[in-house]
Amino acid sequence: MSLQTFPTNFLWGGATAANQLEGAYLKNGKGLSVNDLLVGGTDKRPREITREIQADKYYPSHQAIDFYHHYKEDIKLFAEMGFKIYRFSIAWTRIYPHGFEEEPNKKGLEFYDGVIQELKKYHIQPLITISHYEPPLAMTQKFNGWESRRAIEQYVKFAKTIIKRYHHDVKYWITFNEINILTRTSGAYLGGGMYVSNNSNFDNPEIDSEQMRFNALHHQFLASSLVTSFAHQYDPSLKMGCMLAYHTIYPLTSNPVDIQYAQEVSKISNFYCGDVQVKGKYPYFAQRYWQKHNLKLDIQPQDAKILLQGKVDYFTFSYYQSTTVTLDKEKNTLQKGNFISGVKNPYLKTSDWGWAIDPLGLRIALNQVFDRYNLPIMVVENGLGAKDKLEFTRDGQPYINDDYRINYLKQHLSAMYEALQDGVDLIGYTSWAPIDLVSASSGQMSKRYGYIYVDKDDYGHGTLKRYKKKSFYWYKQVIQNNGII
Ligand code: BGP
């Protein structure tokens, strides 16, 4: 194959989230986030939510990979790969430990000053996710997180603090990670910081409250819009983006009922949020969905104007897999996925964690999004969660041969290249995650995504030493060539 070259100035990089890599969960005044109460699980045993920290349980976020104390070393490695951009999130509870404080925690801000300083040193552009699955626990205890309109004020205060402090160095912002997780049963706790009845399992559709989720989503839309319009006024050079977990949705059969069903799933899962954040109003199909599902949203008279004033400048999404659906109960064999389940697609292989591998689905997704919104796009998460093996040569040199990851990424980059040829305005790619970290869905370390291996297991043991994988050198080459061979 010849070189598939990407546009000049294409933003190559990687993406992480504070709760999955920083650790230091109480350091320098940090408060507890809902994520700090999530026990480690496996692909078969869902993570447990505890109401307080229990001494006999293992909470992966507490130490994670201790980026807090390793960030200089890690950023140096990102620089060695040639990163142009690094997407990371700011832990809300480092800045406002309970959410309600009037003044931010200086020490928390100083940590991110250090991170940004370090990135600048290597000319890596920061991309900040304001909220990535870690609302303050105190807000959950006081008013059940995003179920309450009161969350908006707290979020806006937090976002303004960091925008004012970092706008000179940070051009690209994302208001919420995978905001559409609230359209899915697993979203209530992680995305909304909400307890649904006495749930202790964060992904249990049986104890779901759709009413709660969609209302919380409305509050997040308002919060996102308020912050977006603030940022535009404060510094017109800032680019504010939305971020969704995008799943290309396929019908399993050509039966029109399946086609229509796939379209319905896609509307809510993929377009409901994007339409509000890009177009500034709810889509035409929202009303009927609310009625059918008996949802009564807390929409107040001023809300329409707020949504209209805070439209985003660019569109971002995570893409790991496609999802296939059918109404045919007989063919309904469940297939797991990134917070959404479907049925097995006979044409696709799956990852070790059962997620369908579908590079062409990414090209389709990019075309669907661009066709609908006509905005610049960044793919801000994509990667393969797999089990890696750290081995040593006879003379004691460490190596990790992750050809399967290279293969996965190569195919997805190739799909992006094709989308660019199709005419899609794709401006950047931050793969998930450049360094091994805690899995959001399972809490495992063994579900590894990185170009950099971190010596730590699922139970908290390990030296935390970093090793370069084979994919490290491969990605470095990709960035150097500005494309793939
Ligand atoms: C996305 C999240 C990330 C990340 C990724 C991989 O949904 O935004 O936080 O974790 O998925 O998922 P997992 O860690 O569950 O394998």
For the stretch 339-374, pLDDT in tens is 456 889 999 999 999 999 999 999 999 999 999 999
452 or 204, greater pLDDT: 452
For the stretch 134-163, pLDDT in tens is 999 999 999 999 999 999 999 999 999 999
**What's the rounded Cα separation, in Å, for the pair 62 and 30?**
11
Cα 309 to ligand 1 centroid, rounded to whole Å = 30
Provide the strand spans (E) within 220-364.
239-245, 248-251, 314-318, 322-325, 334-335, 342-343
For the stretch 162-189, pLDDT in tens is 999 999 999 999 999 999 999 998 889 9
Using the predicted structure, report yes or no on whether residue 11 has a pLDDT greater than 60.
yes
State which of 38, 202, 352, 381 you would mutate to test the pocket of ligand 1, scoring each by most atoms of that ligand within 8 A of its C-beta.
381
- The answer, yes or no, to whether any atom of ligand 1 lies below 6 A from the CB of 316, is no
User: What pLDDT, on a 0 to 100 scale, did the predictor assign at position 203?
Assistant: 64
User: What pLDDT, on a 0 to 100 scale, did the predictor assign at position 275?
Assistant: 98
**What's the rounded Cα separation, in Å, for the pair 83 and 435?**
13
State which of 132, 182, 317, 432 you would mutate to test the pocket of ligand 1, scoring each by most atoms of that ligand within 8 A of its C-beta.
432
Cα 440 to ligand 1 centroid, rounded to whole Å = 5
For the stretch 12-55, pLDDT in tens is 999 999 999 999 999 999 999 999 999 999 878 889 999 999 99
| Burial grade of 59 (CB within 10 A; 0-12, 13-18, 19 or more) | buried
**What's the rounded Cα separation, in Å, for the pair 114 and 78?**
16
Whole-number average pLDDT of the chain = 95
Query: Known catalytic residue: 381?
Result: yes
The whole-number average pLDDT for the span 266-280 is 97
Q: Tell which atom from ligand 1 comes closest to the C-alpha of 338.
A: 7
If phi over 0 gives left and psi between -120 and 50 gives alpha, with beta otherwise, what is residue 123? left
**What's the rounded Cα separation, in Å, for the pair 178 and 421?**
27
Catalytic residue among 48, 118, 147, 381: 381
**What's the rounded Cα separation, in Å, for the pair 230 and 28?**
29
User: What pLDDT, on a 0 to 100 scale, did the predictor assign at position 204?
Assistant: 65
The whole-number average pLDDT for the span 57-64 is 98
In the sheet with 334-335, reading across from the earlier edge strand, the strands are 248-251, 322-325, 342-343, 334-335
The answer to whether 384 and 319 are in contact (CB under 8 A) is no
Look at ligand 1, atom 2, and give the residue with the nearest C-alpha.
Answer: 440
User: What pLDDT, on a 0 to 100 scale, did the predictor assign at position 333?
Assistant: 60
For the stretch 220-256, pLDDT in tens is 999 999 999 999 999 999 999 999 999 999 999 999 9
User: What pLDDT, on a 0 to 100 scale, did the predictor assign at position 340?
Assistant: 56
Q: What is 113-136 written as a DSSP string? A: HHHHHHHHHTTPEEEEEEESS--B
- The answer, yes or no, to whether any atom of ligand 1 lies below 6 A from the CB of 68, is no
User: From residue 24, how far is each of 19, 64, 114 by CA, in Å?
Assistant: 10, 8, 15
Element spanning 398, H or E: strand 398-399
The answer to whether 138 and 98 are in contact (CB under 8 A) is yes
Q: What is 332-385 written as a DSSP string? A: --EE--SS--EE--TT--B-TT-PBP-HHHHHHHHHHHHHHH-S-EEEEE----
User: What pLDDT, on a 0 to 100 scale, did the predictor assign at position 199?
Assistant: 63
- The answer, yes or no, to whether any atom of ligand 1 lies below 6 A from the CB of 87, is no
